[in-house]
Copies of this chain bind each other. A is one copy, B any other.
């Protein structure tokens, strides 16, 4: 419970040296160059005025630097959270209006509170409900939706829509109004960015830059597209020729203010805030862990919840929108050599400087440039081969992924992710509700037991050994009852059933009652129930329960012990409850 447990900055700041400072400053300069156009672009995507993106890139970064545990995670506005913000606010107010901006602040503050609460209550495990296939399907669909939503800025038309069908229909209907100059700028920037991404690094490398330096310059190159198209728009007066520009951006730093406390607004935004928080947290932690591992560092997921929560509260209090850790900027931050979270705080300073000095030229930046930046950036989100890969590995996971993808595209982000989560849960429960089990027999002359259907093994008409390959809990307790009773009714001369439990890690109260019912029913039909290979922690729980007291058979240390004692016993003498030899309960198989 040291202060550095809650404020990691205290832990690393006292070891801060000049060379660390140099590394953090260099990383901050490069990330700032990358973040300025992205901040504006993601604000555009969220339907917010451009300055909101810049505001979301200041205070949140400082808060994360103080409370975060990752040295390299670059926090700020990101594509998926911006899309989800747009979806959440679309029913609340007209995009760009003061009410809409106010609702974005509330959304950020709500996400922040939720994340902090989850961190304090150690509820990070809730993020586990989002399975990889669901996240992957959702992110791919989001990438497609984002790209589709930006096509209108590239074409210079007015079009709208909450899902892919509406967007495409609206785009097609507006094809008559395409602004050719806008399209030329958009396609030019798009082509340039793709060229930077695919060729520039190699060219710079051949010109003598180190591989890392070449990579960083190539990644910061989009800023040159911003500069060039801004100069073009300003010098040629493109605004008057039908090219949509970013327009006036207020100069200066954001004012600090509490977001609206309208309880109706908070309630209606709460579901969206939960989803944005969880998705943002999962993505951030996954990026942070991947980067931390490369330097054998650790991040603390529960502290990350608190840090991301405070970053979002900071956004809500300083005019920003929901933030999380971004993948591409974090990688750049890492490769540029960021050594501590202070690199993030320096980035915030860089954005503040830009907000103080660059707002006048930024007014001339064409929206088509930003749209092209977004489209190229989200290309990395779309992973269609993952569908095939997941489908090949597991039908259930493939179904969950496809359903999430299709529903997100057709019904929007919230339905998509909720159905995906429900489906993963349902399919998981379905799978574990029919656990694999096998009647086993003895490999002749050995102490090994194998599936009677797959191997030539010894069996006994009075004795059946059932190996259960799953923990026993409420979802599969009844299936076990069915399986055991079917076994008993198939073998009329049966006197003993042994459940071999080497793969049973947990027996919950439902399964315990089912075992009691099985024991009772087998007793009624003259069959003894025995257990074998019960694990130490499971046996600790079972001791003293009615099951063990009433068990008609015994608890054997190993399957072979059970075979040894019961093989050939056609008498099937029922032990009266309580007569179970005590020694058999004291098995020593500790975990």
A residues adjacent to B (C-beta < 8 A): 125, 127-133, 285-286, 289-290, 292-298, 301, 389-390, 393-394, 396-398, 401, 424-425, 428-436, 438, 450-451, 454-455, 467, 469-471, 473-479, 481-482, 485-486, 488-489, 492, 502-503, 505-506, 508-510, 512-514, 517, 520-522, 524-525, 535, 537, 541, 545-546, 590-591
A455-B590, A505-B503, A537-B436 given; A524·B294 CB < 8 A:
yes
B394 in contact with A298 (CB, 8 Å): no
A478 in contact with B128 (CB, 8 Å): yes
Residue ID in chain B nearest A524 by CB atoms: B294
A509 in contact with B390 (CB, 8 Å): yes
A485-B289, A489-B297, A525-B294 given; A394·B541 CB < 8 A:
yes
A438-B591, A521-B290 given; A485·B298 CB < 8 A:
yes
User: Please, how many angstroms separate the alpha-carbon atoms of A473 and B342 in the complex?
Assistant: 36
The 7 closest A-B pairs by CB, nearest first: A293-B521, A131-B474, A397-B509, A132-B510, A294-B524, A296-B525, A128-B475
A451 in contact with B590 (CB, 8 Å): yes
Which residues of the other chain, B, contact A524 by a CB distance below 8 angstroms? Answer: 293-294
- Protomer copies: 2
A506 in contact with B474 (CB, 8 Å): no
A521 in contact with B436 (CB, 8 Å): no
Q: Which of B436, B488, B509, B510 contacts A296 (CB 8 A)?
A: B488
A428-B474, A436-B505, A509-B397 given; A290·B517 CB < 8 A:
yes
A433 in contact with B125 (CB, 8 Å): yes
Which residues of the other chain, B, contact A541 by a CB distance below 8 angstroms? Answer: 393-394
Q: Which of B285, B430, B485, B591 contacts A469 (CB 8 A)?
A: B591
B470 in contact with A510 (CB, 8 Å): no
Q: Which of B298, B454, B476, B481 contacts A591 (CB 8 A)?
A: B454
Which residues of the other chain, B, contact A474 by a CB distance below 8 angstroms? Answer: 128-133, 424, 428
Which residues of the other chain, B, contact A431 by a CB distance below 8 angstroms? Answer: 506
A132-B513, A485-B289 given; A436·B503 CB < 8 A:
no
A289 in contact with B393 (CB, 8 Å): no
Which residues of the other chain, B, contact A481 by a CB distance below 8 angstroms? Answer: 289
Provide 9 A-B residue pairs closer than 8 Å at the C-beta atoms, listed in order of the A residue. A125-B429, A125-B479, A127-B478, A128-B429, A294-B525, A428-B508, A432-B471, A436-B591, A451-B591
A128-B475, A289-B521, A545-B393 given; A133·B510 CB < 8 A:
yes
Which residues of the other chain, B, contact A478 by a CB distance below 8 angstroms? Answer: 127-128, 285, 301
Shortest CB-to-CB span from A251 to chain B, Å, is 43
User: Please, how many angstroms separate the alpha-carbon atoms of A301 and B285 in the complex?
Assistant: 44
Shortest CB-to-CB span from A518 to chain B, Å, is 9
A393-B509, A485-B293, A525-B294 given; A132·B428 CB < 8 A:
no
Which residues of the other chain, B, contact A429 by a CB distance below 8 angstroms? Answer: 125, 128-129, 425
User: Please, how many angstroms separate the alpha-carbon atoms of A127 and B510 in the complex?
Assistant: 13
Shortest CB-to-CB span from A541 to chain B, Å, is 7
Which residues of the other chain, B, contact A297 by a CB distance below 8 angstroms? Answer: 489
Which residues of the other chain, B, contact A129 by a CB distance below 8 angstroms? Answer: 429, 474-475
A590 in contact with B454 (CB, 8 Å): yes
Which residues of the other chain, B, contact A286 by a CB distance below 8 angstroms? Answer: 517
A509 in contact with B298 (CB, 8 Å): no
User: Please, how many angstroms separate the alpha-carbon atoms of A545 and B390 in the complex?
Assistant: 10
Which residues of the other chain, B, contact A133 by a CB distance below 8 angstroms? Answer: 474, 509-510
Shortest CB-to-CB span from A296 to chain B, Å, is 4
- Which of A475, A510, A524, A535 has the most chain B CB within a 10 Å cutoff? A510
Residue ID in chain B nearest A300 by CB atoms: B482
User: Please, how many angstroms separate the alpha-carbon atoms of A438 and B132 in the complex?
Assistant: 25
B477 in contact with A510 (CB, 8 Å): no
Residue ID in chain B nearest A546 by CB atoms: B389
Residue ID in chain B nearest A523 by CB atoms: B293
Shortest CB-to-CB span from A68 to chain B, Å, is 17
User: Please, how many angstroms separate the alpha-carbon atoms of A475 and B370 in the complex?
Assistant: 38
Which residues of the other chain, B, contact A451 by a CB distance below 8 angstroms? Answer: 590-591
A132 in contact with B436 (CB, 8 Å): no
Which residues of the other chain, B, contact A521 by a CB distance below 8 angstroms? Answer: 289-290, 293-294
User: Please, how many angstroms separate the alpha-carbon atoms of A165 and B301 in the complex?
Assistant: 43
User: Please, how many angstroms separate the alpha-carbon atoms of A450 and B424 in the complex?
Assistant: 34
A510 in contact with B131 (CB, 8 Å): yes
Which residues of the other chain, B, contact A394 by a CB distance below 8 angstroms? Answer: 508-509, 541
User: Please, how many angstroms separate the alpha-carbon atoms of A535 and B590 in the complex?
Assistant: 21
A298 in contact with B132 (CB, 8 Å): no
Q: Which of B285, B294, B503, B525 contacts A503 (CB 8 A)?
A: B503
Q: A289-B485, A438-B591 are in contact. List 13 more A-B contacts (CB 8 A).
A: A125-B429, A128-B474, A131-B475, A132-B509, A293-B488, A293-B520, A397-B509, A436-B537, A436-B591, A451-B590, A454-B590, A502-B502, A502-B503
